[in-house]
Amino acid sequence: MTIRVGILSAAHVHTDAYVRGLSQLDNVELVGIADENANRGQETAARHKIEYLDTGRLLEYIDAGVICAANVDHLSWAKRAAKAGVHVLCEKPLSVTVEEAEEIVALFDEVDAYLGIAMPLRFSDSVQRAAQRLDDGALGDLLAVSGTNRGQMPGGWFTDPQTAGGGAVMDHTVHIVDLVTYLTGCTVSEVYAEVDTRFHDIAVDDVNVLSMKLENGAGFLLDGSWSKPDEWHTWGDATLEFVGESGTIAVDCFDQTLWHTTDTGDESGVSSVFWGTDLNQELLKDFITAVQDNRPPEITGGEAVHAVAVVEAAYRSATSGDPEVVEF
């Protein structure tokens, strides 16, 4: 069974990776791309030798779509896709507010279409092995979790609060919160956030430390800053450490790498070559298989609402100076 897929907006930096990934799947017909910015959409289509289509026409032809829009535009694209009965894989965060995120989930529930979220870290081999160990009770009772998702500042619309809805907290918190919820089965109940702009001259936050409490009482500390320099050997990291009564488990989502060092003059001369599982490709495979098999994707819209709620609570805490309850 061939699934006809379209790209819904090319605003996100992951668009090219998704187009390449979908093109490599035997059971996918990549129909084309639609974009609210015609020039950007046409340039992306030409670069990948696919069609640029009007949104309405594209939605008529496809079974599934990948929303690669800016954060604040997710709802509008979701409305059009749901109205057309199209299954959707949406870039994270699901939306910039819990209210909008819940509306998106309801849209797809009403039309009986699947809604998946781009949280590829779940497909890391390290994460899957950690899941096995935690499920086996290797740590006993969970006492604390610490995590990092420190990366380079992405630039572009990510630094525009009117388009991104926030900065590094909005961009990076959701990945690690999703992993912790997935691996422990616990949601975040409370957040205390220290948030600032220190590394770059931008209009949104680029540094944060979130001190959280899980529903089981365990502490959860997260650094999700845009703190890596432009010359860093890779874009960033994604790590977790779980502390339990019986031991610890450390997870590095990008540990399948080798370092390549060259003489590059003014540049750092060091780059990382990733040889392991292509997490974006695994994400796409799961979504397409879910549509084929008539089952929910691995990461659903309902799960993504919680991550948005944590982001909301973090920004409230940064403003109030007090811990804030996660509400969703």
pLDDT at 101 over 90: yes
pLDDT at 266 over 60: no
Long-range contacts of 228-236 (CB under 8 A, 24+ apart): 228/150, 228/151, 228/152, 229/152, 230/152, 231/267, 231/268, 232/152, 232/268, 233/259, 233/268, 233/270, 233/271, 233/272, 234/271, 234/272, 234/274, 235/151, 235/152, 236/149, 236/150, 236/151, 236/152
pLDDT at 226 over 60: yes
Share of the chain above pLDDT 70, in %: 93
Domain residue extents for the chain? 3-120+281-299, 121-276+308-325
pLDDT band at 231 (very low <50, low <70, confident <90, very high): confident
pLDDT band at 128 (very low <50, low <70, confident <90, very high): very high
Taking only the tens place, the pLDDT of each residue in 130-172 is 999 999 999 999 999 999 999 999 999 999 999 999 999 999 9
Contacts of 40 (CB under 8 A, 6+ apart): 10, 11
pLDDT band at 269 (very low <50, low <70, confident <90, very high): low
Average pLDDT over the chain reads 95
pLDDT of residue 230: 83
pLDDT band at 270 (very low <50, low <70, confident <90, very high): low
pLDDT band at 255 (very low <50, low <70, confident <90, very high): confident
Domain boundaries 121-276+308-325, corresponding CATH code: 3.30.360.10
pLDDT of residue 15: 98
Taking only the tens place, the pLDDT of each residue in 16-73 is 999 999 999 999 999 999 999 999 999 999 999 999 999 999 999 999 999 999 999 9
pLDDT of residue 264: 56
Is residue 197 within 8 Å of residue 232, measured between CB atoms?
no
Neighbours of 51 (CB within 10 A): 15
> What would the mean pLDDT of 175-197 be, rounded to a whole number?
98
d(CA 262, CA 267): 10
pLDDT band at 229 (very low <50, low <70, confident <90, very high): confident
For the entire predicted model, the pTM comes to: 0.94
Is domain 3-120+281-299 annotated with CATH 3.40.50.720? yes
pLDDT of residue 149: 98
